[in-house]
Chains A and B, each alone.
Chain A
Amino acid sequence: MVSYILKRFLSLIPTLFVVSLVVFLVVFLIPGGPATAILGMEATAEELAALNAELGFDRPFLEQYASWLGGVFQGDWGQSYFLDMSVLEAIGEYFGPTLSLAIYAELVSLILAIPMGIIAAYKRGSLVDTAAVSVSLVGIALPGFLLSMFLMLLFSVKLKWLPVAGYRELSEGFGQFIRYLTLPALSLGLVQAAYITRMTRSSMLDVLYMNYIRTVRAKGQKEGIVVLVYGLKNAAPTILTVIGQSFGSLITGTIVTESIFNIPGLGSLTMSAINRRDVFVIQGVVLFVTLLYVVVNLVVDLLYGVVDPRIQLGRND
């Protein structure tokens, strides 16, 4: 197990190296350097050159990359020219709402998708199955921002059950916090649920027709236990992977959703950074979310061994 964890960490190094290179290139490749993005089109050539030199963007590529990477490790992710704070401070300030939204949405999607997937697989070919498959097919085709607007139209504009947009801190009361987050979480969670339902269904289908399930049934075990204990246990690794991936897409999904619901999270930060071409913030958010994504997937990988003891981590490698 220890050697597996070690190996898994080592395998991250090349990945993260490429990630850092790509993220760095995003700013490096801006035509005219980051100064053009910061100062805009009206700036004179001298002003641009001066700012690029001040930021160190007149140095050779490798030197720039090395000093940027060094900064990243030391917690210096650059400065936002519009927010008047460092990129890391900005991320810290805006991350809370994003995380709350992502967790809430993940809960929504799991509560809906796992039972749906199991039932659909168990009653394969039935009306429930067909309905689950069709709904998830449409759900996968539905971009998150579109569902957000449809739900907003229905629940806020027509029915007036939930607020149209906005965000309340948890300190302002749990009820308000949840009320404001429900619609965004639903629109994010439902799209994810479509995908998770599909994957849960197919991994359960693979398992439910195996011989050992028939044996358990023949021994007179109750159906509920057959499906939920024996079946689900073996379908768990696949489902776990999907959940890990979905958490990553939820974090990115929040970017679009937040901008629709005016939630002051990483998404809104990114949006305003796009509009102002605040390139270091964009760079920082990409790096931060990617690291988060990599960590979540690492945790999922390590959980395999816990969920399924047959996967002898480290021995098969």
Chain B
Amino acid sequence: MANQNHVASPSSEAILREQKQIRREQFFSNKGMLIGLIIFSAIVLSAIFIPMVNGVDPNVMDVVNRLKPPTAEHIFGTDEFGRDLFTRVLYGARSSLIVGCSVALLACFFGTLIGIYASYFKVADAVLMRICEGLTAIPGILLAIALMAALGASNTNVIIALTIVYTPSVARVVRSSALVAKGRLYVEAAKVQGASSGRILWKLILPNVISPLTVQASYIFAQAIISEASLSFLGAGIPAPAASWGNILQSSKSILSKAPWAVIFPGLAVVLCVLSLNLLGDGLRDYLDPRTAGRKKK
């Protein structure tokens, strides 16, 4: 799949260039993916840079200005302690994005290891896949809650718990793509020529797994953000006073009728972020899938 292009001989450079051109056009004609990419980049960039520039402390209380609706000074309003919600949402974005990104990377790393080995070694397959099935049988958020209850609430533990929750689904996706690749003629040929299993796994099979893995990563990123928010909302996630989207929303719950903005803005942040990641994932799937990449959707 991914290494189709490498088959081309040097003389077919023109074809290669044309292919690249087509791919570029496909990239830019994929509106959902572009919109997702733009929104997501905007969230990431503002989470990184705006707190640096405006220098507002997300935890500084200002009792005189508590529960103030959005104004020019506090564009998202203030919460029950008079803290600036805009700043808190941005700091919340930082923790949510760090959790989401770490979980996506770690789950992909372990999922790939498990999936690739499972696809190649029968015994490993039987054992690893049963473990994955068992883990996926437990509803995700519940497993995360249970793990958090055991490990205790902290940033790192949220990442550990969610990585355990999402690794099996990555392993499954990787395994099924790897199984397809394993059956290919060039893999058979390499085996006959005596290539080591390490070489076959990491040089020949792994490239075939990258596309579905990328798509999966973006979905897991999104899912992890929702799960982190839910965990923190339940009080089993990132502990206060550190801002995360989940615990901002948790503290806003009790002031829902007095200060709806304290729910609406952090809520919109979660939705926009998850939506943009899902759009990105859908777009990537269409872009990277050889079956749909050639033709236009709809």
Contact = CB atoms under 8 A, between A and B. Distances in A.
Contacts of B264: 150, 153
B298 interface: yes
Interface stretch (B21-29, B81-89, B272-280): B272-280
Contacts of A286: 138, 142-143, 145-146
B103 to A, nearest CB: 16
B271 interface: yes
Interface in A124-152: 124-125, 137-138, 140-146, 149-150, 152
**Dominant secondary structure at the A interface:** helix
Contacts of A30: 150
Interface in B222-247: 222, 226, 229-230, 233-236
Contacts of B146: 23, 26, 282-283, 286
Contacts of A140: 274, 278
B97 to A, nearest CB: 15
Interface stretch (B68-76, B108-116, B128-136, B205-213): B128-136
Contacts of A14: 130, 133-134
A26 B278 CA distance: 31
Interface string B147-189: 1111110000000000000000000000000000000000000
A248 interface: yes
Contacts of B138: 19, 22-23, 286, 290, 293
A294 B142 CA distance: 14
Interface string A62-80: 0000000000000000000
Contacts of A157: 256-257, 260
Contact of B235 (A16, A150, A248, A274): A274
Interface residues of A, number: 55
B33 to A, nearest CB: 13
Contacts of A274: 145, 148-149, 234-236
B275 A141 contact: yes
Contact of A152 (B130, B149, B151, B256): B256
A149 B256 contact: yes
Contacts of A293: 137-139
Interface of A: 14-19, 21-23, 25-27, 29-31, 37, 124-125, 137-138, 140-146, 149-150, 152-153, 157, 248-249, 251-252, 255-256, 259-260, 270-271, 273-275, 277, 279, 282-283, 285-286, 289-290, 293-294
23 contacts: A18-B130, A23-B146, A25-B150, A26-B149, A140-B278, A143-B226, A143-B270, A145-B249, A146-B270, A149-B256, A150-B267, A153-B260, A153-B263, A252-B142, A255-B145, A256-B230, A271-B234, A274-B145, A274-B148, A275-B235, A283-B146, A286-B145, A294-B137
Interface of B: 130-131, 133-135, 137-143, 145-152, 222, 226, 229-230, 233-236, 249, 252-253, 256-257, 260, 263-264, 267, 270-271, 274-275, 278-279, 298
